[in-house]
Amino acid sequence: MGLSGSRALVMGLGVHGGGVGVARYLVGSGARVHVTDMQSPDRLGASIDALSDLPVGYTLGHHDTSDLDGIDFLVRNPGVPREAPFLLEAERRGIPIYMEMTLFLLACPSRRIVAITGTKGKTTTTTLTGEIFRRAGRDTVVAGNLRVSALGQLSRITPTTDVILELSSFQLEGLDAIRTSPRTAAVTNLMVDHLNRYPDMASYMDAKRRIFIYQGSGDVLLLNRDEAYSEAFATTAPGRVEWFNPDDALVGFGDPGSTWGGSHNLANANCAAALARSSGIAEEAIAEAIRGFAGVPYRQEVVRVHRGVRYINDTAATTPDATVAALSSVSGPIVLLLGGADKGLDFTGLVASLADPRSRVTDIVLLEGSATDRLVASVGEGLVRGRHRSFPDAVTQASQLAGGGAAVLLSPGCASFGMFVNEFDRGDQFNALVHALD
């Protein structure tokens, strides 16, 4: 794909680093780059600053169809829906539309690519897989949906580098343009999610299929034996299907003194271990990496123990099922910070978990958002102690409600947009507020 001298439009700069990585890569490849984003310059300040040394033009706060005039191709951010009017206009004009993963897979000098997707557990599984590969002495790069631009890592990658990628359903949409899937792929699990982006579960599953549908006969797809979707995926996989059992015992997992555990993390560890075995890594290296793994920030991360109260950051729990998993893993009484933006998800499982006589949730503090009224209607008022548009006020109330031996758990079960830039901003604010408690 010749980029030198081409005119490229990047649609969606974003705040996670992907848009910055795309713009830097394109400029470095000799393209003339313009960026358009519906967000304001203030909201995009950090990303704009990261490109201040490059000759990049901007249209911010709106899209202008004149930016489509004369461009050779458009690169869309994964956060931009396929049906966005500006994108549809580009399609109508016959402009090629790519994504970061399109460009990365075309340019990557290594074919040793392991990609991981799923509704939950992607980041933990990807990070642990990378740790196992490194422990085995492999030259390893980890990138993708965990806020590490894959294009930004290209200079580090050689033909013998193992590339471990976390890929969201949104990122996987970019593989259609080149009809390419990674040679080794895994699906951690599949739950109802992103129904604010996809019309139904079937469409969401179809996006996930992109991780394997373009594989060759010698490629590998790893599936969760306990998941209902797995058989349907296995019957349509063009490559070799392998399986992992999410509840198998693993050497090194749950060793005394470990702060990383829970049945959901055992499933993640089994997926990572199976990927490592498929790549020829010895059991000893797998066990050593699992034993030394401390988990991933924003995922049931113990931020602080203050006056006998544990403050746990699980901001990455953006679905009700993820919150249920957290509630089953945290010991002692729980003050739950819940709520946010609506993704059209079903709260039935969360309601059942909270109504269970064994539930340890004593109090719920709600964060106001488009999902919060529906949450209250589903969960009821019984455990709700407050509804807050101020995050500091919500954390303060949760702290006041928690007694010694309890946990204040930020596991919202909803998306973050509205009160926060994204779920990581939500998590960063929580950490800062917790550390400021006296």
Query: Residue 86's domain is classified under what CATH number?
Result: 3.40.50.720
My answer on whether 228 and 366 are in the same domain is: no
pLDDT digits (tens, 9 = 90+) for 100-158: 999 999 999 999 999 999 999 999 999 999 999 999 999 999 999 988 999 999 999 99
With respect to residue 31, please indicate whether it lies within any of the assigned structural domains. yes
| pLDDT reading at 179 higher than 90 | yes
**Angle, CA of 113, 114 and 119, to the nearest 5°:** 140
Task: Measure the CA–CA gap between 208 and 197, rounded to whole angstroms.
Answer: 13
- Strand, helix or coil at 36? strand
| pLDDT reading at 203 higher than 90 | yes
Half-sphere exposure of 379 (CA within 13 A, CB side): 25
Provide the number of structural domains found in the chain.
3
With respect to residue 112, please indicate whether it lies within any of the assigned structural domains. yes
pLDDT digits (tens, 9 = 90+) for 367-380: 999 999 999 999 88
Question: Where does a domain end: 98, 131, 151?
Answer: 98
DSSP state of 368: P
With respect to residue 2, please indicate whether it lies within any of the assigned structural domains. no
Share of the chain above pLDDT 70, in %: 100
With respect to residue 313, please indicate whether it lies within any of the assigned structural domains. yes
The DSSP-derived string for 94-144 is T--EE-HHHHHHHH-S---EEEEE-SSSHHHHHHHHHHHHHHTT--EEEEE
Give the pLDDT confidence score for residue 206 in this predicted structure. Answer: 95
Task: Measure the CA–CA gap between 81 and 350, rounded to whole angstroms.
Answer: 28
Give the pLDDT confidence score for residue 2 in this predicted structure. Answer: 81
Is 78 in contact with 99 (CB distance < 8 Å)? yes
My answer on whether 91 and 107 are in the same domain is: no
With respect to residue 283, please indicate whether it lies within any of the assigned structural domains. yes
My answer on whether 112 and 200 are in the same domain is: yes
| pLDDT reading at 258 higher than 80 | no
Sign of CA dihedral 144, 418, 338, 377: negative
State pTM to two decimals.
0.85
Torsion of CA 227, 314, 331, 190, to 10 degrees: 0
> E strands along 258-342, which residues?
301-306, 309-313, 334-338
Give the pLDDT confidence score for residue 289 in this predicted structure. Answer: 96
How does residue 255 score in pLDDT terms, banded at 50, 70 and 90? confident
pLDDT digits (tens, 9 = 90+) for 393-404: 999 999 999 999
* Domain with 222 in it: 102-292
My answer on whether 222 and 284 are in the same domain is: yes
247 by Cβ neighbours in 10 Å (0-12 / 13-18 / 19+) ranks as exposed
My answer on whether 89 and 122 are in the same domain is: no
My answer on whether 156 and 236 are in the same domain is: yes
With respect to residue 282, please indicate whether it lies within any of the assigned structural domains. yes
My answer on whether 222 and 111 are in the same domain is: yes
Mean pLDDT of the chain: 94
Distances (CA, A) of 336 to 14, 162, 326, 406: 30, 40, 10, 11
With respect to residue 12, please indicate whether it lies within any of the assigned structural domains. yes
Tokens of 422: 């994204």
Half-sphere exposure of 145 (CA within 13 A, CB side): 22
Question: Where does a domain end: 67, 98, 129?
Answer: 98
With respect to residue 26, please indicate whether it lies within any of the assigned structural domains. yes
My answer on whether 317 and 199 are in the same domain is: no
My answer on whether 129 and 219 are in the same domain is: yes
pLDDT digits (tens, 9 = 90+) for 36-60: 999 999 989 999 999 999 999 999 9
Give the pLDDT confidence score for residue 18 in this predicted structure. Answer: 85
Q: Are strands 56-60 and 73-76 parallel, antiparallel or unpaired?
A: unpaired
With tokens 């993963």, the residue in question is: 101
Question: Where does a domain end: 292, 324, 358?
Answer: 292
My answer on whether 47 and 194 are in the same domain is: no
Q: What is the mean pLDDT of residues 318-322?
A: 91
Long-range contacts of 137-145 (CB under 8 A, 24+ apart): 137/285, 138/162, 138/281, 140/164, 142/166, 144/101, 144/115, 144/171, 145/171
Query: Residue 428's domain is classified under what CATH number?
Result: 3.90.190.20
My answer on whether 50 and 142 are in the same domain is: no
Give the pLDDT confidence score for residue 1 in this predicted structure. Answer: 65
Query: Residue 254's domain is classified under what CATH number?
Result: 3.40.1190.10
My answer on whether 58 and 115 are in the same domain is: no
Give the pLDDT confidence score for residue 345 in this predicted structure. Answer: 85
